[in-house]
Amino acid sequence: MAGGVQTVSSTDIHYRRKKNIWAYIWKFRVLYLLSLPGILYFVIFKYVPLLGSVIAFQNYNIFSGFMGSPWVGFDQFTRMFEHYDFLRILKNTILLGLYDIFFSFPAAIIIALLLNELRQVIYKRLIQTVIYMPHFLSWVIISGIAASVFSPSAGIFNQFINWLGFESMYILGDESYIRSFLVGAGMWRDVGYATIIYLAALASVNPDLYEAAEIDGANRFRQTISITLPSIMPTIVILFLLNIGHFLDFGFERVWVFLNSLNNQNGEILDTYIYRLGIQSQQYSYTTAIGLFKSVVGLLLLLIGNVLSKRTTGESLF
């Protein structure tokens, strides 16, 4: 006590803060217990495996383990960029990622806007159900359907173009079509399901805004441009940034089930390359280096996209 003012030491402040934190945790203990399985999932399957990234800097031997394998520094990364196969496959992955962003991402927004304009609830629900259903099919099933539909001898697609007077095409066996086919197949399977979030965002738009715009003489297209899109822009930006972070993750199953010796040149991506060399050829250090490269690129793209989005639209992930 000095001059009637009580002094508090830094130890007391630290103790009080710690006590308040534990009191806060105890207050919401039920919520923390509910979130515990999700936290454990990310710790065990996402963060702990990051320790295995160390083998990207080793000549890893499965019998010697992390401690016994010799260190080689950045040799695996040098090999990665010098290998002709890697540069070709990286080009395929980048092109497919760009196609997916330019076509699949806007397609979900457009479909959500079109569904939002339907006034007959029964038709809206029917169309939603039809376009959602492919999402629940595995890529193995989709590959079987595609093999039947696009068969050069008995497929309905080739029968149709033969009826139009054109020659049959084996789309799954032509490297010039495989990229378009992979992007189109992904759109058919997942775009309908991706509209769920946009439809939820559209449902939160204040209907009074549309009434005021209609009084001012704005038609439906103008209302969409001036009211609907700005209202759901935060949702669009967040989902776009999340997609940017997975730019090089086009999807292993999506490509693997359609790959063959005829379309491999333009169809193989980094994920299938990692599987082929890492699992089938046991080149663990090399493929770990490729996976680490993918993660770093995704992180950089996410950070850059977040900064640009915050400066231009005011919306960002963090």
Q: pLDDT by residue (tens digit) across 102-135?
A: 999 999 999 999 998 888 888 888 998 899 899 9
Give the pLDDT score at 245. 85
Residue 203 identity: A
Q: Write down the pTM of the prediction.
A: 0.83
The CA-based diameter of the chain, rounded to the nearest angstrom, is: 102
> DSSP letters of 202-267?
HHTS-HHHHHHHHHTT--HHHHIIIIIHHHHHHHHHHHHHHHHHTTT---HHHHHTT--TTTHHHH
Distance, CA of 241 to CA of 105 (rounded, Å): 11
Q: Are 97 and 158 in contact (CB under 8 A)?
A: no
Distance, CA of 133 to CA of 269 (rounded, Å): 27
Q: Give the residue-averaged pLDDT of 79-105.
A: 91
Given a cut of 80, whether residue 283 has pLDDT beyond it is: yes
Q: Give the residue-averaged pLDDT of 270-288.
A: 90
Q: Give the residue-averaged pLDDT of 282-308.
A: 90
Distance, CA of 240 to CA of 265 (rounded, Å): 29
Distance, CA of 121 to CA of 23 (rounded, Å): 49
pLDDT in tens, 227-275: 999 999 989 998 998 888 888 888 899 999 999 888 999 999 999 999 9
Given a cut of 90, whether residue 166 has pLDDT beyond it is: no
Given a cut of 60, whether residue 5 has pLDDT beyond it is: no
| pLDDT, mean over the chain | 87
